[in-house]
Amino acid sequence: MSSNGTTYTTLQAAVNGAVSGATIVVKSACVGSTEIGKNLTITGKGGAVLDGNAAGSVLLVDAGVSVTLSKLVITNGSADSGAGIHNLGTLELDSVTVLHNSANLDGGGLFNDGGDVTLGNDTTFTGNSGGPQGGAIASRNGTLSMDNSSSISGNTADIGAGIASSNTVIALNDKSSISSNTSREAAAIVLVGGSLTLHGSSSISNNTATDSRLGGAVYVVTSMVTMNDKSSVANNTAECSGAGLAETDSTVTMNGSSSIGGNRALTLGGGGLTLLGGTAVMNDKSSIGGNFAETAGGGVNIDADAGGILGSITLNNKASISGNSGAFGGGIANLGSVTLNGNSTISGNTARSSSAFGYFGGFGGGIENTLGSITMTGKSTITGNTAVYGAGIANADSGTETGTLTGVVAGGNVSNNTPDNIFNGNF
């Protein structure tokens, strides 16, 4: 490898010999760990590989420095945290492949410790593993941006095989993707504090949680999630609940034509979206559709957090919840509050019997309302849903308590559901 016309036999020697701001060109395989304590660009030629030799992090980026890595393969790192890269500074990856690194604790591919990280130009994290969390990436504080079709796929960990993070600002842009990762819970992303924003047809898809209590793909706690443009959370699978996106005490906002679709909760509830004490707002033409839950909430499952605070969802404009299936609430299973405004719709959902309940179920094709509240305004509709009882709305009535319906008119804005529009009963 070379820097400023000088050839070096190790990357660490090249880094030590370079002036701040220099570019180091790597033309072959470099073996061992390297610490970077100055502003540098390291670029590869001819399939250059940085091989950690399973003896620590491949790269350590110190605090206060800016490093750009380009056209490199980073592999075979083994460390407690950040086996591929341990970052404390500002780091940009441009056309970099990070693969087959293994962390005992977190961040098999990358551990971001308070720094700022940008993945660009088809940068890929694949085949990395973390012990408890963060197979590809773990981040504590700082920022993480995925740009220009960058991807995280095929990684494993106990929790958060794609990304495990706390107090981190995460953005997926420009068709970037997190897909086909596998963990016990939250196979794509687990986020505690901070924010997650999806832009520009970015996607979270085909991730699998093998023993998930919450979050087949994404689980967030006290965080903000925003989905814009045509971004999607699709075709993820949870063995238990919350297959697409699950939240506790967080805010979820869906804008544009963003979608949560085709997700499957195999043994419990919340096929598309699970709300525990938090709020969701669907705007524009956003949609939740084609999701499946074995029990409650094929599309959306609204429940309480540990302190008893109930979740809520509001549909505005032309937002829709359609084509979902669950035993209780094909579209929505509601213990909190549901508000439909504008031209929003809940349509084509199915409540069916479930083997999990001895083939009992089939309540609330559109909404199963268990002592919660439903408010309808404008030209919003609940139509074309099917169920055994309450194809439009199954509204719980215990004799002493009942769900609250405001602006709901059977045969009006709740119509053409089969076999009935509204069922009031004890179930």
Q: ∠ CA(140), CA(145), CA(146), 5° rounding?
A: 125
Q: Quick one: what percent of the chain has pLDDT higher than 70?
A: 96
* pLDDT of residue 241 exceeding 90: no
* pLDDT of residue 355 exceeding 70: no
CA distances from 92 to 122, 314, 347, 423 (A): 12, 38, 45, 57
Answer whether 278's CB lies under 8 Å from 247's CB: yes
Dihedral of the alpha carbons of 146, 152, 158, 164, in degrees to the nearest 10: 0
* pLDDT of residue 334 exceeding 90: yes
* pLDDT of residue 371 exceeding 90: no
pLDDT at 354: 67
- For the chain, count helices (H), then strands (E): 1, 57
Q: What is the pLDDT of residues 256-306, one digit of tens each?
A: 999 999 999 998 889 999 999 999 999 999 999 999 999 999 999 999 999
- The arithmetic mean of pLDDT across residues 395-412, rounded, is 86
Specify the length of the chain in residues.
427
| Residue 13 host element (H or E) | helix 11-17
Dihedral of the alpha carbons of 169, 172, 173, 179, in degrees to the nearest 10: 170
pLDDT at 240: 85
In the predicted model, what is the mean pLDDT of the chain? 95
Q: What is the pLDDT of residues 252-266, one digit of tens each?
A: 999 999 999 999 999
Better pLDDT: 2 or 413: 413
